[in-house]
Amino acid sequence: MIELTRTIKYEADRVKGFGREVMSVPGCEALQSCIQCGTCSGVCPLSIYMDFSPRQVMALTRADFKNEVLKSHTIWLCASCYACTTECPREIRITDIMYELKQRAMKEGIYPKKFPIPVLAQEFTKMAVKHGRVTENYLATIMFLKTNVFAALGMWKLGLKLILRGRFAFKLDSIKRRDELARMMGSVENVSIDTLSNPKTNGKTSHPTS
Ligand code: SF4
Ligand code: SF4
């Protein structure tokens, strides 16, 4: 038998103004008109794996439950397939709202820390901005070390095979003239390595991968 547990939300859990802030971002305004029909949850191919359904994320965001939304796994499990956005009867850009929430979670450093997807997004962006290229085995190693060291140890056979076949890079791949890239990223997206290293600072980050 499935045990149902209800989570009660209290007024004190709200962070007043959060919903309004999200809805002030271009592309997210229509959230105001959500009728909670649940179409987004119904069409989402990943909703069965999510802790909150897309409909719930929309409701929680609008109702100022910032911490619940930013700490949820849902925003990181969203695969940006746009099915919800296409089907929403109120033309709410749910996928873009998910991106906005991911950005805020990274900026404020309150995403689920041991969950690999936000860590991967963070490290991917950091590596791409700093080196202009992403070295996949380094990225995977950092992700495992930051989330689940034992899982990394369990991958030793794969690592060995990659080394034997010459597919394991021992050096980070980098473009030439990285300073120019840093300047370009800094002026275009206001991304700085400092910001990425310290998500609590106020700089913006680029869209994380999902
Ligand atoms: S489909 Fe649109 S209107 Fe319906 S619950 Fe989802 S966001 Fe709200
Ligand atoms: S864009 Fe994200 S939330 Fe929307 S249907 Fe696809 S996976 Fe689900």
Are 27 and 93 contacting, i.e. CB atoms less than 8 angstroms apart? Answer: yes
Concatenated DSSP letters for 145-164? Answer: HHH-HHHHHTTHHHHHHHHH
Establish if 4 belongs to a structural domain. no
Check residue 74 and give its pLDDT.
96
Ligand 1 contacts CB of residue 35 (under 6 A) = yes
**CA atoms of 144 and 116, how far apart (whole Å):** 8
Task: Tell me which residue has its CA closest to atom 7 in ligand 1.
Answer: 34
The model's confidence at residue 68, banded by pLDDT at 50, 70 and 90, is very high
Q: Give the DSSP H/E element, type plus range, for residue 23.
A: helix 18-23
Distances (CA, A) of 100 to 56, 68, 93, 143, 204: 16, 15, 11, 23, 11
What is the domain extent for residue 135? 116-197
Establish if 204 belongs to a structural domain. no
Judged by its nearest atom, the ligand closest to the C-alpha of residue 84 is 2
Does residue 77 share a domain with residue 156? Answer: no
Task: Tell me which residue has its CA closest to atom 3 in ligand 2.
Answer: 78
CATH number of the domain bearing residue 80:
1.10.1060.10
Instruction: Report the atom number in ligand 2 closest to the C-alpha of 80.
Output: 1
Structural domain total, the chain: 2
Torsion of CA 125, 127, 185, 106, to 10 degrees: 30
Instruction: Report the atom number in ligand 1 closest to the C-alpha of 36.
Output: 5
The model's confidence at residue 67, banded by pLDDT at 50, 70 and 90, is very high
Instruction: Report the atom number in ligand 1 closest to the C-alpha of 31.
Output: 7
Best mutation site among 94, 96, 100, 101 for ligand 1 pocket (most ligand atoms within 8 Å of CB)? 94
Higher-confidence position of 50 and 178: 50
Task: Tell me which residue has its CA closest to atom 3 in ligand 1.
Answer: 34
Establish if 209 belongs to a structural domain. no
Judged by its nearest atom, the ligand closest to the C-alpha of residue 60 is 1
Instruction: Report the atom number in ligand 2 closest to the C-alpha of 57.
Output: 3
Does residue 51 share a domain with residue 126? Answer: no
Higher-confidence position of 37 and 154: 37
**CA atoms of 103 and 145, how far apart (whole Å):** 23
Check residue 204 and give its pLDDT.
41
**Span 100-144, pLDDT tens digits:** 999 999 888 888 777 888 888 888 888 888 899 999 888 888 888
